[in-house]
């Protein structure tokens, strides 16, 4: 039997409304997002890497990732799903062990991506993860980078590649499909209708609103690094104001100290 949080997270992908995930990078961002109404929280690999002092793209030490997960879930009441990039290994067994560690840390889902590799590699990793973690406890969201990395020309070739990879990942045991870089409603509808997996898209300029995409079959929308980039643009603006002698302006937008501190009450 899956845990209540795991079962709840799985159920959120099969409701009428789209599951909106405003990706977090640390305990404070995760808790503030939950307080603002997020039904679940996802990490952004890029945002988490940057917050910990690493470039995105496989540079984050696994120990740092696991420590970050533990800090986030310590007092978080909603489900957490974690972006593990490509699993930080080419070995399906090592990736499966990482997924099991993520589960032990308290997360209930993962994103795992194919990048530029052949679909067989991610399919083998998914199969190993499913075998290691069981049928229902960990939600495996398989990410294909066909559109994000332009692995095929846009149009019929890209669509055919996504559908083929989706079939491979579903057969291996994936629970969801993440297609970042896709922004056309008609394409989303075509992919959603071709698979039983809930379709996840990433917030990008030009992407229609969640309600419209939900009618096209999308079940999950991820902010990716967008919230981090927006927050740190504000940090830069506030620091610039402070250095210019206009620090008092910061308080007009600041959260109350007591309300933030209360998020971490045991």
pLDDT above 90: residue 180: yes
CA atoms of 144 and 165, how far apart (whole Å): 7
Give tens-digit pLDDT for 111-153. Answer: 999 999 999 999 999 999 999 999 889 999 999 999 999 999 9
Q: Which is it for strands 109-113 and 19-21: parallel, antiparallel or unpaired?
A: unpaired
CB contact set of 245 (below 8 Å; sequence gap of 6+): none
The sheet that has 139-143: what strands, in order across it?
Answer: 19-21, 218-222, 199-202, 176-178, 139-143, 109-113, 80-83, 41-42
| Tens-place pLDDT, residues 190-237 | 999 999 999 999 999 999 999 999 999 999 999 999 999 999 999 999
- CA distance linking residue 30 with residue 48, whole number of Å: 11
pLDDT at 251 over 80: yes
> Among 40, 104, 28, 25, which Cα is nearest to 77's?
40
Higher per-residue confidence, 253 vs 100:
100
Q: Which pLDDT tens digit goes with each residue over 54-92?
A: 999 999 999 999 999 999 999 899 999 999 999 999 999
Q: Give the fold, CATH level 3, of 4-226.
A: TIM Barrel (3.20.20)
Q: What is the pLDDT of residue 222?
A: 99
* Residue 78: partners with Cβ closer than 8 Å, 6 or more residues away: 5, 34, 38, 39, 40, 41
Domain chopping of the chain, boundaries = 4-226
Give pTM, 2 decimals: 0.97
């Amino acid at each position: 039997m899956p845990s209540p949080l795991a079962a709840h997270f799985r159920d959120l992908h099969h409701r009428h409304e789209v599951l909106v995930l405003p990706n977090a990078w640390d305990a404070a961002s995760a808790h503030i997002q939950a307080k603002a109404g997020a039904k679940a929280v996802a990490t952004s690999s890029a945002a988490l890497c940057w917050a910990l002092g690493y470039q995105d793209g496989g540079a984050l030490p696994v120990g740092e990732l696991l420590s970050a997960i533990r800090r986030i879930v310590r007092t978080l009441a909603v489900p957490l799903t974690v972006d593990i990039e490509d699993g930080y290994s080419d070995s399906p067994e090592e990736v499966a062990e990482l997924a099991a560690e993520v589960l032990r840390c308290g997360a209930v889902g993962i994103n795992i991506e194919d990048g530029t590799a052949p679909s067989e590699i991610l399919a083998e990793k998914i199969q190993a993860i499913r075998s290691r973690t069981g049928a229902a406890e960990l939600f495996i969201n398989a990410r294909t980078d066909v559109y994000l990395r332009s692995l095929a020309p846009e149009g019929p070739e890209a669509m055919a590649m996504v559908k083929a990879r989706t079939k491979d990942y579903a057969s291996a045991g994936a629970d969801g499909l993440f297609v970042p870089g896709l922004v056309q409603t008609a394409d989303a509808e075509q992919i959603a209708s071709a698979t039983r997996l809930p379709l996840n898209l990433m917030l990008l300029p030009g992407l229609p609103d969640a309600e419209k995409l939900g009618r096209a079959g999308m079940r999950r929308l991820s902010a990716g690094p967008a919230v981090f980039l927006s927050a740190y643009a504000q940090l830069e603006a506030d620091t610039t104001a402070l250095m210019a002698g206009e620090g008092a302006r910061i308080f007009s937008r600041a959260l109350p100290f007591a309300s933030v501190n209360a998020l971490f009450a045991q």
